[in-house]
Structure 1
């Protein structure tokens, strides 16, 4: 990103990421460049000029100024071995010399060479970009590859659900054979994750920083709630099922996806508890229905009770493990003498663990798909 600070219009013109943004922008491209321009307002003029040039150039038409032809020809000549000086002002007999790039035959030949070469390059690039823009299905690999920031990927290669803790305390229960990618820390205005397979999300509430889950062609936006996403590259459908709270679901191809993503409110198709969205990928059709019998793996939090009155911490951890379907390792004898009185109904799992451990002076960490409690006991 820092390289762009020194870019001139011609540098932007030749940059692949910039051209993709102009010709076939994705939501991530749009967000990246808009954020960058906000940080570097002095570059708006250069970017606008480069954008117009990219839009003006097609495989059938290339608009070159004298200066651009001069640069292209001179750069070509500079690559040739042992070529003579291109722009001597005069000959030895003081006869003015026409600059190399202005000699008619060379200018024509070089222009044709530049046009043909650039047209061919543009045709290949544009076909690739158009193919991506018109492609009905989007894979997990495509979503992850298009990100400008480095992501962390967690893969569940085990036979049982794996808890993943994100930097904001959000819980991701990743089912076997599933993958999730996310930023090490959520430092931007949005918390974004990318998933393939099946995962349950219990999102830490933060209305100022919406949580976005990208799953193939579907985008789910929440402020703080729990829900399930099931989306595999080979599946004909994408499913989103809400357990608690409300989520907004819409297609990434939605023309209004930009405002829906950036806005602080939930718009689009709003899904409430015990409702689900099924997105037919080939038909690009979304349907909403009630959940009669859930066929997804997710904890049932609707009737769960997390009110404890002088309850041994060992029993509290057993309750959490049974409710969330996660393996919690602890020393039962040590924690049996650590009573807890608290009501933890609305907090996500990791927030519950934080509160419990603070009271009993313990700690925890996620190790190989298990939550390990460390405690020296209570006095």
Structure 2
């Protein structure tokens, strides 16, 4: 176990666990670091500074040209000079030779200390809209760009047979011919995707800092430039999502497996762009995933609650965590056929004096059993 109490700012910056917490947080990682900071409040200034530097290192993911990096550094130094005016404060670099990006990051961290925020400094080059436009500008002859200015969704058939329903005010860009090992789409706005299955050629949707990867399924991505969150909702199959700032982004994008946060039907990810944080949830109105010709009946008479929950689990393709032995002795008589999933759960839990929570995209039932 690492002794983080002995870490300085630079040590935090290059620690893989710390970087994963900043760039790809999840519930378990958040819990660890929040508890550690609560026990070590004196390390908060170093941790906050290290977090700013790690986020600044995302610059590397934008594949800037050398001249752009030099210009960024030049502008950064100018801003520091303007802030310090004629003071004699010296800028001391970290004693490391890992790469030039740490220098850029350190400059940005210094600017933050002088009152110029990270987001203000990188706004022009790190704005999601800029990423989309830069992609279009870099491949003008090879790309197809489609915009929807109409009220109704615009259907778009891709060369691989996949279907895109583009919502009003949205746009996508993609190569006329999918090249390389992936099928890549850039989205600004909202669209529903029904992807033709091809395990040998994963389908990737880039949208405001979040990458959605599928092998063949249907899902919706909402990623408007003016909104602070990106949302991915799964209708059928499985998808994986990960941030473009993820330290393992290339591995996750090129792998033939679904790596990252994996979503199944009726689950969604809400990605907070400014905080680089993902929350795995259930959609507001989960839909039955079983084919219509085998639609289940939710009429129960003296049925053990454990069997009722298993029926719901199968019908909605959602994991329901409960104590099977405890609830097998709790009978339920109820007609739930015409109710939404969460209404069904409310009635079930009321009938056996239980409660439920949504945790990490699954339903957890808490009960003391039946009297």
TM-score (ref. length: structure 1): 0.44
Q: Which of the two has higher C-alpha Rg?
A: 1
TM-score (ref. length: structure 2): 0.45
